[in-house]
Amino acid sequence: MDAITTHNLTKTYGKKTVVNNINLSIKKGVIFGFLGKNGAGKSTFINMITGLVNPTDGSFEILGYKGNSIKEIRHKIGVLPDYSTFYEDFTALDHLKYFSKLLKLSLTKEDLITTLKRVELEDAIHIKTKQFSFGMKKKLGIAQALINKPDILFLDEPTSGVDANSVLNIHSIIKDIALNGTTIFLTSHNLDEVEKLCDEVAIMNKGTIQTKGNMEQLRSQYQKDTAIHIKHRSISEAQQERLKKDLDLLVEYADMTPTYSELFVKEDNVIPEINKILVQNNVDVYRIEVDEPSLEEIFLNLGDQKHPA
């Protein structure tokens, strides 16, 4: 069973279609990155699948429940909104006590302290949040989203505005949560973060899902050929020509200099064969680098014609 499934999900406001016939499936237990430029329709899509906005057309299921019965499973959902704020005179423990009562959860003090320890706030259990750093508030927001042990967790910009050390800590927490079976739906403007954390990524553009897949799939969709950069010992022009002939069936294009070569290939699995040919020709290889496009490159150039990396 998928954690989230949508069928032609659509939202219009007047004559403007904000979300246009989206069909999307997200497996249980994955970290799913959801990207899109401002105005792409991300927020409207999320608001629909969390029950805050009614679709104009189409349908969706979350954790096996149809959209019109989402109230029955809200206790299985955790949310960290980017605009999360706290009561300044409440301690971290006070906050969790307060929200556990709102959610009608039967949790002991020890249960709540365990949750705070899980997000590395064990030293701030009895500290008022007005003394919290921004990173500590983010962690408390995650703890608040976790107290009902959700099956699916929505994280909106979980590391925005925090220091580098806190970013690493939050990343570790997110990975740990996913390993325990929780599906994580992550939105972030930090594309490097999404690339590192997410099992799958969807990129939304002008109301539609323009592409979806893991990083390997996204790279294959984006680039036609893979560029390989090789640093080697000095070789003569005659050796360069001989190597080009030997490599002809493996590479699409080869640009060689005495100490540096750039090759373009269709498939990564030919790289070991290329290295073997170099060694067989007594060419000492110092370094081989594969030029793979980052998620940022793919995101910024989405819609452009595919091209060599």
Question: What does pLDDT average to over the chain?
Answer: 89
pLDDT tens, 192-242?
899 999 999 999 989 999 889 988 888 877 777 788 999 999 999 999 999
- Domains of the chain as residue ranges with CATH: 2-88+148-219 (3.40.50.300), 224-292 (3.30.70.980)
Among 12-26, 156-170, 265-279, the minimum mean pLDDT is found in: 156-170
Give, in order, the Cα–Cα distances in Å from 195 to each of 15, 88, 107, 241.
35, 35, 36, 39
End-to-end, the C-alpha distance of the chain in Å comes to 37
| pLDDT confidence of residue 305 | 43
In this structure, which amino acid lies at residue 164?
Answer: A
Q: What is the DSSP string of 291-305?
A: E---HHHHHHTTTSP
On the question of pLDDT at 243 being above 80, the answer is yes
Read off the pLDDT of each residue in 255-283 and give the average, rounded to a whole number: 92
Closest to 152 (Cα-Cα) out of 66, 67, 63: 63
Reported in sequence order, the residue ranges of 224-284 that DSSP labels E, i.e. its strands, are 226-232, 253-256, 260-265
Residue 293, pLDDT score: 81
- Please tell me the predicted confidence (pLDDT) of residue 303: 55
Question: Which residue shows structure tokens 């921004």?
Answer: 134
Give pLDDT tens digits for 32-88.
999 988 888 998 999 999 888 999 999 999 998 888 888 888 889 998 876 667 899
Count Cβ neighbours within 10 Å for each residue of 103-128 and write b for 16 or more, e otherwise. Answer: eeeebeeeebbebbebbbbeebbeee
To which H or E segment does residue 170 belong?
helix 164-179
Residue 301 has a pLDDT of: 77
The percent of residues in the chain predicted with pLDDT above 70, rounded, is 97
Res. 308: pLDDT tops 60: no
Closest by alpha carbon to 291, among 197, 240, 233, 219? 219
In contact, 280 and 247? CB cutoff 8 Å: no
Statement: residue 309 has pLDDT above 60: no
Q: What does the buried/exposed string (b/e) look like for 194-230 if buried means 16 or more CB atoms within 10 Å of the residue's CB?
A: bbebbebbbbbbebbbbbbeebeebbeebbebbbbeb
Task: Kindly report the backbone phi and psi dihedral angles of residue 239, in degrees, each rounded to the nearest multiple of 5, phi listed first.
Answer: -65, -40
- Does the pLDDT at position 247 exceed 90? yes
The whole-number pLDDT of residue 83 equals: 62
pLDDT tens per residue across span 106-135: 999 999 999 999 888 999 999 999 999 888
Residue 307 is predicted with a pLDDT of 39
Cα separation, 268 vs 278, in Å, equals 16
Q: What is the mean pLDDT of residues 269-281?
A: 93
Reported confidence tier of residue 306, pLDDT bands at 50, 70, 90 = very low
Separation in Å, CA 186 to CA 152, 178, 195, 252, 265: 11, 12, 11, 38, 34
